[in-house]
Amino acid sequence: MLCTHNVTGSIPVTSIKNIFFMQVLYTKDKNRRHIYKRLEKKRLILNYIKSNLNLDYTIRNIAFFKLRKISLLSSVSKIKNRCVLSNRARAVYKKFRLSRIFFKKYALRGLIMGAKKASW
């Protein structure tokens, strides 16, 4: 049970849990990127062999089964674009690697080159 009173200068328990959870998400994404980088060439080669109709059926079938054994975490679709500052996964601008919240904050302060508030 969370305590209802707040001691001055203390960090609430819920925010500590949230910070820990975000670190877990960050390490998961980092591991997925590492696995993808390690198995990318192998996956591309096996996909090419599998889809090449000039090769024998048995060779293509072996490539298909080897491709199925590769971890699903090595797929590019499992990688999330995350904000560099907040580790937020939704509404992240690829070009700046910032979430919409931090992008707006820094753009209004003039810290992002070429970004300004639109007015018409």
| Predicted pLDDT at 1 | 46
Residue-level pLDDT, tens digit, the chain, 120 residues:
445 555 555 555 556 667 777 788 888 888 888 988 999 999 999 999 999 999 999 999 999 999 998 878 778 887 788 888 888 888 898 888 899 999 999 999 989 888 878 887
Q: Residue 102, Cβ neighbours under 10 Å: how many? A: 20
| Predicted pLDDT at 86 | 83
* Same-domain status, 86 and 73: no
* Same-domain status, 67 and 24: yes
Q: What is the CATH number of the domain that holds 109?
A: 4.10.830.10
| Phi-psi category of residue 80: left, alpha or beta, with phi > 0 → left and psi -120 to 50 → alpha | beta
* Same-domain status, 75 and 111: no
Segments forming the whole domain that contains residue 25: 13-79
Domain annotation covers residue 2: no
Domain annotation covers residue 1: no
Considering the entire predicted model, what is its pTM?
Answer: 0.62
* Same-domain status, 85 and 111: yes
